[in-house]
């Protein structure tokens, strides 16, 4: 069952709409959905004050699909703590998309603002444009970043992606800004494009595959050999199967440079694999 939301007007002061989830919509009619709370500044308003609502929700979250139309860059927290069902956004959207998400699917046919998938626990998010800063990161002061789920970004990602990441899978077709994977503690990341400087500061576990150029690595990362690595191709085949548009071909015969770090943290198990043809500057024989 589907519910369609259309933004009625341009928004000057951002609104917070964590009420927009299949769980909150399930088993409600359009009038009940319209009465769900929206925060704007110091006011608590109703969803119907901003959106035209039509359609029919399902009896359960997993039977409920939500489609959202309009200029949504000033709309925050769509899908926060989402626990099933599907949300489709027809364009760009604001901050905290899918933050603390537990289950379900979100498909954004545009770009997203900062803190998307922050402290995500599960589910699947597909972003067809760019993602802002702090994608899949932990909130300020928290040691908990992404702890499960899958995120795919067809464009570029800003700075500090995957800070404090513990579990899950992230794939980026474009490039990633500086300070990615700070304090990473687990999970897997694939970047098809380039990665800016200072990747993996204070990281201890996880795996990162970079097919583009890594600007630089900290001196606390150690070179651990170059060779063809079949398991790297396994990860790329996994990505190719799910998002064939991310990879033209899988570099089966290519060598990978392996680095371990961050040794400032003792005996870390973070593994960074960089395609050798793009990253010879990282290792001088």
Q: What is the pLDDT of residues 111-139, one digit of tens each?
A: 999 999 999 999 999 999 999 999 999 99
Q: How confident is the model at residue 62 (pLDDT cuts 50, 70, 90)?
A: very high
Same domain, yes or no, for 159 and 49? no
The mean pLDDT of 98-119, rounded to a whole number, is: 98
Residue 277 placed within a domain:
yes
HSE (side-chain half, CA atoms, 13 Å) at 224? 15
How many angstroms separate the CA atoms of 252 and 232, rounded? 9
Given a contact cutoff of 8 angstroms between Cβ atoms, the answer to whether 157 and 139 are in contact is no
Query: Does 284 have pLDDT greater than 70?
Result: no
Contact residues for 63 (Cβ-Cβ < 8 A; gap 6+): 1, 26, 85
In a 3-state reduction of DSSP, which class is residue 83? strand
Residue 140 placed within a domain:
yes
- Tell me the residue range of the domain where 192 lies: 111-282
Q: How many folded domains does the chain comprise? A: 2
Q: If 0-12 CB within 10 Å is exposed, 13-18 middle and 19+ buried, where does residue 285 land?
A: exposed
How many angstroms separate the CA atoms of 175 and 127, rounded? 14
The mean pLDDT of 189-217, rounded to a whole number, is: 97
Same domain, yes or no, for 59 and 182? no
Residue 73 placed within a domain:
yes
Residue 25 placed within a domain:
yes
Same domain, yes or no, for 168 and 233? yes
Query: Does 194 have pLDDT greater than 60?
Result: yes
Look-up of token digits 């700070």: 182
Residue 135 confidence (pLDDT) = 98
CA-based R_g, the chain, Å:
20
Q: How confident is the model at residue 54 (pLDDT cuts 50, 70, 90)?
A: very high
Same domain, yes or no, for 34 and 168? no
Residue 137 placed within a domain:
yes
Residue 32 placed within a domain:
yes
- Give the pTM: 0.97
Same domain, yes or no, for 181 and 53? no
Residue 14 placed within a domain:
yes
Residue 11 placed within a domain:
yes
Same domain, yes or no, for 141 and 23? no
How many angstroms separate the CA atoms of 99 and 138, rounded? 10
How many angstroms separate the CA atoms of 124 and 178, rounded? 24
- Which residue, of 54, 77, 100, is where some domain finishes? 77
Helix residue spans in the chain (DSSP H) = 22-25, 30-34, 230-242
């Amino acid at each position: 069952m589907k519910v369609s939301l259309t933004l009625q007007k341009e928004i000057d002061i951002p609104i917070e709409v964590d009420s927009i989830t299949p769980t909150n919509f399930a088993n409600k009619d359009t009038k009940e959905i319209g009465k769900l709370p929206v925060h704007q500044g110091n006011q608590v308003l109703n969803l119907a004050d901003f959106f035209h609502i039509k359609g029919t929700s399902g009896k359960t979250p997993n039977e409920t699909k939500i489609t959202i139309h309009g200029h949504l860059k000033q709309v925050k927290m769509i899908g926060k703590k989402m626990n099933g069902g599907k949300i489709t956004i027809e364009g760009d959207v604001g901050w905290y998309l899918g933050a603390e998400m537990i289950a379900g699917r979100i498909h954004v046919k545009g770009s997203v603002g900062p803190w998307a998938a922050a402290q995500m626990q599960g589910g699947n998010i597909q972003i067809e444009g760019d993602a802002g800063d702090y994608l899949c990161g932990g909130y300020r002061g928290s040691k908990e970043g992404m702890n499960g789920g899958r995120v795919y970004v067809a464009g570029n990602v800003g700075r500090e992606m995957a800070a404090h990441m513990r579990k899950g899978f992230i794939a980026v077709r474009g490039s990633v800004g500086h300070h990615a994977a700070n304090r990473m503690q687990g999970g897997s990341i694939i970047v098809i494009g380039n990665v800016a400087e200072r990747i993996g500061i204070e990281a201890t576990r996880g795996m990162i595959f970079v097919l583009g150029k890594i600007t630089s690595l900290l001196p606390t990362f150690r070179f651990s050999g170059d060779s063809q690595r079949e398991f790297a191709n396994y990860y790329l085949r996994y990505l190719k199967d799910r998002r064939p548009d991310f990879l033209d071909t899988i570099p089966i015969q290519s060598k990978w440079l392996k680095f371990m770090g961050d040794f400032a943290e003792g005996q870390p198990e973070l593994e960074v694999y960089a395609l050798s043809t793009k990253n010879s500057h990282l290792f001088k024989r």
